[in-house]
Amino acid sequence: MELPTIDNTDAYINVCKKAGLPVNKLPKKGDKIDLAYEIAMKEINPHLYQNLMSPSADDLPADVAKRYKQGLMWIDDLKAYEDCGFSGTAKNIRDAIAEAQTQKMINETNAMKESNDKRDEYHRNRQKGMQFGAPLPAEQVEYTKSQLGITGLADWQK
């Protein structure tokens, strides 16, 4: 069985065109790449950069390398991946973070909307007017009367 050969030429040409850089020789692992091309690949197509540079998982810290080999991605590993040339993997992590933040915001918004809808429903359906409120306790009524000076007697009776 013959394995297909991956050709990154078209992707490299697209990166050069999008970045406004002249198209030159397709770099390979170990080749010196101009900074402009490196930045363009990391920004426009980080997976292409990772495929061309073929970074080694052995360059990663031991714990990160173990998780990488197991296919696990942690948010804390993002910096290590970027530093070691795993720009495609780092982009996947950043995309997952953005998706999780979006989903969290949607869930919080839905929870707030549900809470607001319950409150609005209660206020729409409750009986209106003070006569439907709970009566005040006698102690509170007496205290308020004493504070305001209300005796229940007419002015000429006082």
Q: Residue 130 above 80 pLDDT? A: no
User: What digits encode the pLDDT tens for the residues 93-112?
Assistant: 999 999 999 999 999 999 99
Contact yes or no for 41/52 (Cβ under 8 A):
yes
C-alpha 32 chain-centroid distance = 36
Give the integer Cα–Cα distance in Å for 61 and 76.
12
pLDDT of residue 154: 78
Q: Residue 129 above 80 pLDDT? A: no
3-state secondary structure of 117: helix
Token reading at 78: 């993002």
